[in-house]
């Protein structure tokens, strides 16, 4: 039975590979191995192949290195550069792939934050939570519009010594109904 993209990516080593490639990074297997020295090279190559087969990883270039071709890996392009029509034509696995790459970027950003020597969740106002809300389609649109207005207003702020750039991420989707595939 073939694994879906979520099953492929939800492996600790593969998640680490994706995190290394977040933010547009392009790395060779050797560079990845330097960032993950606890992973044996043969294991790393096996996981790179699995990610490539699932189209969660692409080869950005191949370059000669000591008589072989060295591959440079990267995450595929994200959905944010796609037109509405292209998004509509993409299938469920495509959208899952886009979302996984988006989440990989967020994970990479957060990893860089918590690895900073002076990170302070409380002082920095860091939050992450999920809150289920019961909203009609109209109420959902109104909420999204108000959030967008507040974010656009805050985006006009100029940098000052008191202001620090913050990453604000919103993800809104309806919970699948009882007739959705995979529900019990």
| pLDDT of residue 83 exceeding 70 | no
In whole angstroms, how large is the CA radius of gyration of the chain? 20
Q: For residue 184, what pLDDT is reported?
A: 44
DSSP state of 111: H
Rounded to two decimals, the pTM is 0.58
Q: Where are the alpha helices (DSSP H) in 22-171?
A: 29-35, 41-53, 84-89, 92-115, 121-124, 137-155
Quote the CA–CA distance of 110 and 157 in Å, as a whole number.
Answer: 23
d(CA 73, CA 55): 12
180, pLDDT greater than 60: no
Predicted confidence (pLDDT) at residue 6 exceeds the cutoff of 90? no
d(CA 97, CA 78): 9
What is the strand order of the sheet 27-28 is part of?
27-28, 68-74, 58-65
Determine the pLDDT at residue 181: 55
Q: Looking at residue 179, what is its pLDDT?
A: 63
Half-sphere exposure at residue 173, Cβ-oriented, CA atoms within 13 angstroms:
7
The residue-averaged pLDDT of 29-34 equals: 95
Residue with tokens 């006009």: 156
Query: What was the pLDDT predicted at 73?
Result: 96
| Segment 40-61 mean pLDDT | 93
Which tokens in the block code for residue 77? 């392009």
Per the structure block, which two tokens stand in for 86?
Answer: 């292209």
H or E element that contains 9: helix 5-9
Q: What is the mean pLDDT of residues 44-59?
A: 92
The residues with which 73 forms a beta bridge, in sequence order, are 27, 59
DSSP state of 24: G
Share of the chain above pLDDT 70, in %: 90
Mean pLDDT of 116-145: 93
* pLDDT per position as a tens digit, 91-127: 888 888 778 877 877 887 788 889 889 989 999 999 9
């Amino acid at each position: 039975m073939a694994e879906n993209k979520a099953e492929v990516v939800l492996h600790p080593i593969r998640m680490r590979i994706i995190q290394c490639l977040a933010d547009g990074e392009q790395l060779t297997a050797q560079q990845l191995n330097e960032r993950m020295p606890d992973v044996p090279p043969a294991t790393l190559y096996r996981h790179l192949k699995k990610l490539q087969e699932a189209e969660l990883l692409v080869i950005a270039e191949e370059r000669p290195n000591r008589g072989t071709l060295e591959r440079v890996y990267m995450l595929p392009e994200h959905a944010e550069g796609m037109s509405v029509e292209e998004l509509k034509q993409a299938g469920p696995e495509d959208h899952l792939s886009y979302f996984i790459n988006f989440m990989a970027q967020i994970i990479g950003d957060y990893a860089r934050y918590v690895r900073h020597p002076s990170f302070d969740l409380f002082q920095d106002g860091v939050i992450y939570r999920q809150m289920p809300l019961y909203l009609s389609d109209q109420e959902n649109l109104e909420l999204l519009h108000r959030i967008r207005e507040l974010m656009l207003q805050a985006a006009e702020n100029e940098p000052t010594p008191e202001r620090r750039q913050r990453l604000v991420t919103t993800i809104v989707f309806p919970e699948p109904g009882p007739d959705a595939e995979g529900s019990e």
